[in-house]
Amino acid sequence: MSSAAEWRALIDAVGGLPEGAPTAALATLIRTRGSTFRHAGTRMLVHADGRVVCALSGGCPQRDIVERALSVIRDGKPLRVAYNDASGLDVLMEMGCGGELELLIEPVERTGALRWLAPLGVCLRERRPATLATWFARDGMVLAPRHALADGPGADAPTCDALRAALARPRPERATVAAIAGADGHDEVLLEPVQPPHALVVIGGNATSHALLRLAGTLGWQAVLVDNDPRRLDVSGLPTGTATRCAEPARLCEAVAFDPHTAVVVMTHGLERDTAYLRALEEVPLAYVGALSSRGRAVRLLDALEAPAWELRAPTGLDIGAGTPEEIALSIAAEILAVQRARAGGPLRARTGAVHA
């Protein structure tokens, strides 16, 4: 699926299109099988001059997709294309990974696209999960796609039975095509969850926290630096959009908004302060909580907690032999991703299932 950062890039790009006839095309992975780098729900925007936004890189037949997208812009008609052993075989062989893909490519006109993209953007800004439904086929024939958003403020009500039926289902864990039988035929609707962007709260200003915040900016995470000393919040070189909050442990939850999609890493280099900040968060549901510490210090932190709503990851980070602040930041960010995506964080060569899933 497209990440929150990719969705923001797509929304911004569509918002910058000129009014009038379609001048771009949106390519959406609707099905994948086997080893593929990206999966259903991932999107790429192709401009009429061949520029792309959110490239489908790493094992995707991108050049061929771009050429097909340019034809969709010229013709103004949607296209459904498959890359498998029955079609697109020459391009599929270039991939060399054995995966199969099916895409929907639709012409994009600014005003019409923003009707469903703008409410989705509001959900991302307000950190609210949503469900997006894209109706694209009936009885195997591609149709002019229609989109509807559940849980989105100001979203248009679904205009067809297939969209209404799809959005009445529980939110899926990952993008999937729903087959819906109706009086007029058998419809196909891509149903996908849209999750808020990852949020990272780093408590304690120091070289390692600064390195972690810079990496978070590269990953498109929303980041906040917290410290009880305003002098440690006066930092240059942090990514644009990084927030700073001066707060003692007792005022932490007033100063920062937390939700179940938030990761917190405590690294004040003071045992009592680390303990106080962790205690302030004990009843807050969080995606990840880590502390920069030695093993002995981790035991003392755990002993100081009563019944937190989360598991404390201490020492925080994966074992990659990190030594510098930048290497430690990499190990922490990798563990955060692994935990949020229910992965063990081991080497890919040891994985028996799909490598990227």
Q: Over the chain, what HEC string results? A: CCCHHHHHHHHHHHHCCCCCCCCEEEEEEEEEECCCCCCCCCEEEEECCCCEECCCCCCCCHHHHHHHHHHHHHHCCCEEEEEECCECHHHHHHHCCCCEEEEEEEEECHHHHHHHHHHHHHHHHCCCCEEEEEEEEECCEEEEEEEEEECCCCCCCCCCHHHHHHHCCCCCCCCEEEEEEECCEEEEEEEEEECCCCEEEEECCCHHHHHHHHHHHHHCCEEEEEECCHHHHCCCCCCCCCEEEECCHHHHHHHCCCCCCEEEEECCCCHHHHHHHHHHCCCCCCCEEEECCCHHHHHHHHHHCCCCCCCEECCCCCCCCCCCHHHHHHHHHHHHHHHHCCCCCCCHHHCCCCCCC
Task: Spell out the residues 6+ positions from residue 213 whose beta carbon is closer than 8 angstroms to its own.
Answer: 200, 202, 223, 225, 238, 239, 242
> Which residue, 231, 266, 238, is CA-closest to 252?
266
Residue 141 predicted with pLDDT over 60: yes
Residue 291 pLDDT greater than 50, yes or no: yes
Can you tell me the distance from the alpha carbon of 192 to that of 41, in angstroms, rounded to the nearest whole number?
7
Give the integer Cα–Cα distance in Å for 60 and 267. 40
Least confident of 90-99, 102-111, 331-340: 90-99
Residue range 263-291: average pLDDT? 97
With a cut of 60, say whether residue 89 has pLDDT above it: no
The mean pLDDT of 174-182, rounded to a whole number, is 90
Question: Is 153's pLDDT higher than 90?
Answer: no
User: How many Cβ atoms are within 10 Å of 262's Cβ, its own excluded?
Assistant: 24
Query: CA–CA distance from 56 to each of 76, 137, 187 (Å)?
Result: 22, 23, 26
Q: What is the pLDDT of residue 93?
A: 44
Distances (CA, A) of 63 to 13, 52, 54, 60, 85: 20, 11, 14, 9, 19
Q: Point out the least confidently predicted range of 48-62, 174-188, 269-283.
A: 48-62
pLDDT tens readout for residues 36-84: 778 899 999 999 999 999 998 655 688 899 999 999 999 999 999 998 8
Q: 152: alpha, beta or left, given left = phi > 0 and alpha = psi -120 to 50?
A: beta
Phi-psi domain of 66 (left: phi exceeds 0; alpha: psi -120 through 50; beta: other): alpha
Distance CA 77, CA 257 (A): 44
Residue 156 has a pLDDT of 55
Q: Is 124 within 8 Å of 194 (Cβ atoms)?
A: yes
Average pLDDT of the residues in 183-210: 93
Place of tokens 């990719």: 6
Mean pLDDT of the 208-214 span:
97
In this prediction, residue 164 has a pLDDT band, given cuts at 50, 70 and 90, of: confident
Span 199-340 CATH architecture: 3-Layer(aba) Sandwich (3.40)
Asked if 11 contacts 18 with a C-beta cutoff of 8 angstroms, the reply is no
Tokens of 311: 């598991």
Q: Extract the tokens encoding 225.
A: 């630096």
Give the C-alpha distances (Å, rounded to integers) separating 309 from 130, 222, 232, 317: 24, 22, 29, 20
Residue 142, pLDDT > 70, answer yes
Mean per-residue pLDDT, 212-220: 95
Domain ranges of the chain: 4-194, 199-340
